[in-house]
Amino acid sequence: MFSTGQLIFALFFIVSFTFAIIYSYKKDKQKSKQYFKGSFWVLIGFLIFVSLLVGLKSIV
């Protein structure tokens, strides 16, 4: 289904992308507490809003 070159490229891409994401996360970990203070409440509000929409849709 896939050639050997495609499988090697996919494996290389997955490994390098994973390392890049881990590196970026570790680098931004200290800043995230400062910049995203209160973002938890935004998530809670969004979940409540979606729940209300789903609830109203199932009632009507």
pTM exceeds 0.75 for this model = no
DSSP state of 13: H
CA–CA gap between residue 17 and residue 24 (Å, rounded): 11
Give CA separation, 11 vs 4, 15, 17, 35, in Å.
Answer: 11, 6, 10, 34
Provide the pLDDT for residue 13: 97
What pLDDT sits at residue 7?
94
Q: Where are the domains of the chain?
A: 4-59
Express each pLDDT in 4-60 by its tens digit: 999 999 999 999 999 999 998 888 877 777 777 788 889 899 999 999 999 999 887
